Amino acid sequence: MYQRIYSVVGNIPAGKVATYGQVAGIAGRCSPRQVGYALSALPEGHDIPWHRVINRQGRVSPRSFPGGDLVQRHLLEAEGVVFNDKDRVDLERFGWDPVWQHGNSVVKGGE
């Protein structure tokens, strides 16, 4: 399951974000919480853009290590993602909208 999650997250382009639920929907057979667990279990030296996954409210979720949420915000801002005065990302503007081909059906945006 973690590899499916990492594969989805690895495809989120710079300057875009996805929600935990969106990643779970695309990866299949997992929950948004499991996406969070997978991202927190990333090994040292990985190249998965974990910082591009935010919550459904468009906010950075608290991290297990102090200041981790600020690190994530700074990484996103460095890619051009803008936060409003309520610390939210406009998901209409910065949300990732992939079209995935799965067998004979197309899954768009984690539906």
Query: Hey, where are the domains in the chain?
Result: 2-108
Gap between the Cα atoms of 60 and 3, Å rounded? 23
Nearby residues of 62 by Cβ (< 8 Å), 6 or more positions away: 68, 69
- Per-residue pLDDT tens, the chain, 111 aa: give them: 999 999 999 999 999 999 999 999 999 999 999 999 999 999 999 999 999 999 999 999 998 888 889 999 999 999 999 999 999 999 999 999 987 444 433 344 444
Which H or E run includes 100? strand 99-102
pLDDT number for residue 30: 97
> What fold characterizes domain 2-108?
Arc Repressor Mutant, subunit A (1.10.10)
pLDDT number for residue 83: 98
Residue bearing tokens 């539906």: 111
